[in-house]
Amino acid sequence: MGAPEPLPARFAPGARVQVRRADPPGHVRTPWYCRGHAGVIERICGSFANPEELAYNRDGLPAQPLYRVRFSCRELWQDYAGNAGDAVEIEIFQHWLEPA
Amino acid sequence: MKQTDEADSRGYYRRMQSAIEELLILKGVFSGADVEREVKAMDSRNPGRGAKMVARAWVDPAYKARALHNGSAAAEELGFAVGPLRLIVLEDTPRVHNVIVCTLCSCYPRMLLGLPPEWYKSSNYRSRVVREPRTVLQEFGTRIPDDVEIRVHDSTADMRYMVLPLRPAGTEGLDEEQLAGLVTRDSLIGVAMAKAAAQA
Amino acid sequence: MRSHHDMGGRPAGKCEPSEHEYELWEKRVDALMMLLSDKERQLLKVDELRRNIESLGADAYDRMGYYERWMHSICQTLIQRGVISIDELGRKMAELEARDGRA
């Protein structure tokens, strides 16, 4: 009995994505400040067990694709005054992302 | 028996640590020697490891390419085990400056840099570096020119990050060990630049 | 509800580049975490540790030291998993307190 296959990746590097605006309870690794915001897939990091499940000592499988998503600071913060190229990159699991 | 109030909380958690360690040794979960070994291992991890990787990357373009492609493998190449987490090396360029944070807790490349400094875990740093990175860097004495882009890396999941800072000017004559001496912990986090050659 | 630990972007004070020499007991908390979460033992998952830290109230989170939060959380996880009982821990801590008192 092996582990279930990791879920297939829905997004490729360069794709525009939007973080779901959701507010579930529990242990969530998607920072509040990026929810609802659009960014670009910088890379696929691989597949990893879902921390929302691991937090309750479950196996978190099937593994979820994990992405690094690049957000422009001006997208995240309306009044951001620095260089237009300034950006924040965040690791986000696939189930938090939708096509933008 | 004295009831614990706030002023005594340090003693309380210290005692809890001893109690749990003793109970787990009695239950055979681990031995006292296992605990000592872990403490020693953590003491042996320090930013000198990251500095060695950076110095090698500065002198050896092929190593640098491997480090940027797969940071974990590049660390292991120099004998530093990084465990199951994956290391991503972030290259500073004349156009881009990188800085790392963990806004949700305090994830840090501890296998290469040891335990994080106090400020890295502070709410001031965690709250503000994603919001106003240029101001925060100035508080560390680091001014990033307006035309250089800043990339803040929030370590939220299974990746860990280390910055490959710019090689300081005027260091052509230095050997790898001297170069490693220019690489500070803060430059590996990205709140400072590597030291200038004269400061070595 | 935004949780207190999820602080990216919140207003906060100036960064003081403070250093802290870790005390031995803090390193031993770290050692407990490393051992309990390793492949051989698997008695604690890092995300369980985080969850139990996140469930501290905001006041306690801010007031407690970093390794105090960890110790609280390791303890909670071991109780939740049934590795230790509250009663045996309470007795052991009382025993240590009595021992320290005599020392």
Per-residue model confidence as pLDDT tens digits over C4-27: 999 999 999 999 988 889 999 999
Cα separation, A27 vs C77, in Å, equals 14
Residue linked to tokens 């699991």: A93
Mean pLDDT value of segment B68-76: 97
Q: Within a 10 A sphere around the Cβ of B130, how many other Cβ atoms?
A: 28
For A37, the token pair is 């915001």
Residues of B in contact with A65 (CB under 8 A): none
C45: Cβ contacts below 8 Å, ≥ 6 apart:
A54, A55, A57, C37
CB contact under 8 Å between B157 and A83, yes or no, is: no
Between B127 and A1, residue with greater pLDDT: B127
Q: What is the reported pLDDT for B83?
A: 84
Cα separation, B173 vs B175, in Å, equals 7
* ipTM of predicted assembly, 2 dp: 0.97
CB contact under 8 Å between B23 and C92, yes or no, is: yes
- CATH domain A16-99 topology: SH3 type barrels. (2.30.30)
Q: What is the reported pLDDT for A1?
A: 59
Please choose, from the candidates C68, C4, C16, the residue with its C-alpha nearest in 3D space to the C-alpha of residue B119.
C16
Q: What is the reported pLDDT for A79?
A: 96
Between A89 and C103, residue with greater pLDDT: A89
CB contact under 8 Å between B122 and C35, yes or no, is: no
Q: Within a 10 A sphere around the Cβ of A75, how many other Cβ atoms?
A: 15
Q: Chain-wide mean pLDDT for chain C?
A: 95
Residue of chain C nearest B106, judged by CA positions: C66
Shortest Cα distance from C51 to chain B (angstroms)?
11
Q: What is the reported pLDDT for B8?
A: 62
For B183, the token pair is 């690489």
Among residues B102, B123, B127, B155, which one is catalytic?
Answer: B102
Cα separation, C44 vs C54, in Å, equals 16
Residues of A in contact with C12 (CB under 8 A): none
Reply yes or no on whether the pLDDT at B102 is more than 60: yes
Mean pLDDT value of segment A75-99: 97
Length of chain B: 200
Cα separation, C26 vs C18, in Å, equals 17
Of all residues in chain C, what percent are helix, strand and coil, respectively (each to 5)?
A: 60, 0, 40
Which architecture does CATH list for B48-199? Answer: Alpha-Beta Complex (3.90)
Q: Parse chain A into domains and list their residue ranges.
A: 16-99
For B123, the token pair is 């709410």
Reply yes or no on whether the pLDDT at B197 is more than 90: no
Cα separation, C1 vs C4, in Å, equals 9
Out of B6-10, B16-20, C60-64, pick the least confident: B6-10
CB contact under 8 Å between B154 and A91, yes or no, is: yes
- Where in the sequence of chain B do the CATH 3.90.330.10 domains occur? 48-199
Mean pLDDT value of segment A49-77: 98
Residues of C in contact with A23 (CB under 8 A): 1-2
> What does the DSSP 8-state code read for residue B84?
T
CB of C100 less than 8 A from some CB of B:
yes
Q: Chain-wide mean pLDDT for chain B?
A: 94
Is the distance from CB of C95 to CB of B36 less than 8 angstroms? no
Out of A29-33, A56-60, B1-5, pick the least confident: B1-5
Cα separation, B183 vs B173, in Å, equals 16
Is the distance from CB of B199 to CB of B180 less than 8 angstroms? no
Is the distance from CB of C36 to CB of C44 less than 8 angstroms? yes
Is the distance from CB of A34 to CB of A90 less than 8 angstroms? yes
- C102 pLDDT band (50/70/90 cuts)? low
Is the distance from CB of B118 to CB of C20 less than 8 angstroms? yes
Q: At A71, which amino acid appears? A: F
Domains (range + CATH), chain C = 25-102 (1.10.472.20)
